[in-house]
């Protein structure tokens, strides 16, 4: 028996024989053509694009697929219409002169490597979408290019780096789990696997050569473990866990539409964090009361350029239509550091996480900031919109942003454009300076949203992506708990609404702790909404407060975590 640790991507347990499948990502052989054949190859390329777009249109219209999958298909279809893509491939055909398939492969491989070199995990995982599109075009140009057919018996699929289209195309009745060498939790492939309910573990490294086809595998999508050739006792234990997980999923499914309140009647709002408009549907289906964090960076990554005002507005309108009166909190661009700094033409910085990122970048590029603010204001006339400013570190920065917003409002008034004049403006509390001066910011801002990811990283001086120090990244560190308590206390004192939108809120023990500290609004990934509701409905306000007070007395994060784990097991024995 061998155990490998990967990245948990889609929850659940899959047990079955291994199907080791090689990815169809080999580049076509370069084929020289004469100048007289250029027009023929250009025509082949254009027909391949049109054929691929027709396939994606059919996929986006499929009634049997989830909204997430249809949304990805639609975004892929739009990408294939990008004039930059057409220009680069056409130039490669003419300048070779080269065959259409070679030009497609060379252009896409260059873009793929560019994305792979990005440090930010979310943006880096977008390279899988480029692989997907490249393969789709090559299948049109080289009909033999493709992946192996679907299995005729239940299997756990082992592959190198599956694309969203390859996941969609599998027979759900036969593929019980996905195991990959590469990939991460924020990729479109991961989104598709989650939406299809397929247990998945990604990023296991070079394991394909170590797995014999047909050998028994256990894929644990919650712990991120892959167990190869398990012994009898392990196999039996995981069969029991599989049934336990199925029972818990049934409980959570019922939980989605139940009221989010404690047994003693304390109402708590649970909202969703989204990257893409199509995720609104998943959030609502899981019982979210609205969207508490709408990250807007995808508008750039999907289009490969900064969106204009109408593009912004179209996306916000799309989300608002699906919200049907529920609140939508839109965060302005959070670029810089490891998020597309090179792509945006930002000069290299010795320490980009402490440099020109997020709101600072918006100040450096006021034309981009004003364009986004205009669109958000226009959207506010059509639904319950709130504006959130990221990485605010001082009252000075908040006032600067507020002044620009007021100038944009005046422009819209002159143009007789409708908007909500009382649009709520809040700040993300994710820098220690903002947490320490929460009392000052509370006198200016309409609401707070605590971003524990960066708050923990900056407070503890720990890069959580650095494996040498990642173990020190502990949201349960007493320093973090004290900052959280101070932020919540100042919010209550100044009657400023405080929500939590960091990943900390997604973990059951921390949800329990945060409830006790006084958080009454959580914004989490759509799939985690029922989990948070489950915790809320299991504990009274008094009991949660008692647990939080006790947790605050421990001097180490290890003691805090052990205590919270024990309390969570007592209140939620099925976990």
Q: Which residues are catalytic?
A: 188, 501
Q: How many CB atoms lie within 10 A of CB 566?
A: 12
* Spatial separation of the C-alpha atoms in residues 525 and 72, rounded to whole Å: 18
Q: How many CB atoms lie within 10 A of CB 30?
A: 13
Q: How many CB atoms lie within 10 A of CB 80?
A: 17
Structure tokens at 200: 């998945």
* Spatial separation of the C-alpha atoms in residues 431 and 427, rounded to whole Å: 11
Which distant-in-sequence residues (6+ apart) come within 8 Å of 392 by Cβ? 359, 398, 401, 427, 428, 429, 431, 434, 441
Query: 319, 288 in Cβ contact below 8 A?
Result: no
Structure tokens at 540: 């009274």
b/e burial code for range 182-192 (CB count within 10 A of at least 16 → b): bbbbbbbbbbb
Whether the bond into 575 is cis, omega within 30 of 0: no
* Spatial separation of the C-alpha atoms in residues 430 and 393, rounded to whole Å: 8
Coil, strand or helix at 163: coil
Strands (E) across 275-341 are located at 291-294, 328-331
Coil, strand or helix at 64: coil
């Amino acid at each position: 028996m061998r155990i490998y640790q990967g990245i948990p991507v889609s929850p659940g347990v899959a047990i079955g024989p291994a199907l080791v499948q090689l990815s169809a990502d080999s580049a076509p052989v370069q084929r020289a053509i004469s100048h007289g054949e250029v027009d023929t190859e250009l025509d082949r390329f254009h027909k391949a694009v049109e054929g691929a777009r027709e396939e994606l249109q059919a996929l986006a219209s499929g009634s049997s697929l989830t909204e997430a999958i249809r949304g990805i298909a639609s975004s892929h279809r739009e990408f294939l219409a990008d004039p930059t893509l057409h220009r680069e491939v056409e130039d490669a055909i003419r300048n070779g002169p080269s065959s259409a398939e070679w030009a497609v492969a060379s252009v896409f491989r260059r873009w793929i490597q560019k994305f792979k070199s990005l440090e930010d995990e979310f943006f880096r995982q977008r390279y899988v979408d480029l692989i997907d599109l490249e393969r789709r075009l090559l299948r049109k140009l080289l009909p033999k290019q493709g992946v192996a057919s679907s299995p005729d018996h239940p299997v756990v699929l082992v592959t190198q780096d599956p694309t969203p289209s390859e996941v969609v195309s599998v027979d759900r009745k036969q593929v019980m789990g996905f195991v990959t060498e590469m990939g991460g939790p924020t990729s479109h492939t991961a989104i598709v696997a989650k939406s299809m309910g397929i247990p998945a573990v990604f990023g296991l490294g070079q394991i394909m050569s170590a797995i014999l086809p047909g050998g028994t595998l256990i894929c644990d999508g919650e712990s991120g473990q892959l167990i190869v050739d398990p012994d009898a006792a392990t196999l039996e234990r995981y069969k029991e866990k599989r049934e336990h997980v199925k029972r818990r999923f049934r409980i959570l499914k019922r939980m989605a539409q139940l009221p989010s309140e404690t047994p003693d009647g304390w109402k708590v709002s649970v909202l969703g964090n989204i990257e893409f408009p199509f995720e609104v549907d998943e959030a609502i289906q899981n019982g979210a009361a609205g969207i508490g964090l709408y990250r807007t960076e995808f508008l750039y990554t999907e289009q490969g350029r900064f969106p204009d005002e109408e593009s912004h507005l179209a996306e916000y309108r799309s989300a608002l239509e699906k919200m049907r009166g529920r609140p939508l909190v839109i965060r302005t661009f959070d670029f810089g550091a490891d998020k597309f700094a090179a792509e945006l033409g930002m000069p290299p910085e010795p320490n980009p996480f402490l440099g020109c990122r997020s709101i600072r970048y918006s100040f450096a590029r006021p034309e981009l900031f004003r364009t986004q603010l205009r669109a958000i204001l226009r959207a506010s006339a059509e639904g319950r919109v709130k504006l959130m400013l990221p990485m605010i570190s001082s009252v000075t920065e908040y006032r600067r942003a507020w002044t620009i917003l007021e100038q944009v409002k005046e422009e819209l008034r002159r143009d007789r454009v409708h908007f909500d004049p009382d649009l709520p403006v809040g700040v993300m509390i994710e820098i220690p300076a903002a947490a320490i001066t929460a009392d000052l910011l509370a006198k200016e801002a309409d609401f707070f949203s605590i971003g524990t990811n960066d708050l923990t990283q900056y407070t503890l001086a720990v890069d959580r992506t650095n494996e040498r120090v990642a173990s020190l990244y502990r949201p349960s560190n007493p320093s973090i708990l004290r900052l959280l308590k101070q932020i919540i206390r100042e919010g209550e004192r100044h009657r400023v609404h405080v929500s939590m939108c960091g990943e900390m809120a997604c973990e059951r023990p921390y949800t329990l702790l945060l409830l006790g500290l006084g958080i009454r609004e959580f914004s989490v990934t759509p799939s985690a909404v029922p989990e948070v509701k489950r915790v809320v409905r299991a504990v009274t306000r008094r009991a949660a407060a008692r647990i939080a007070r006790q947790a605050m007395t421990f001097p180490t994060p290890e003691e805090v975590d052990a205590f919270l784990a024990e309390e969570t097991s007592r209140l939620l024995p099925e976990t």
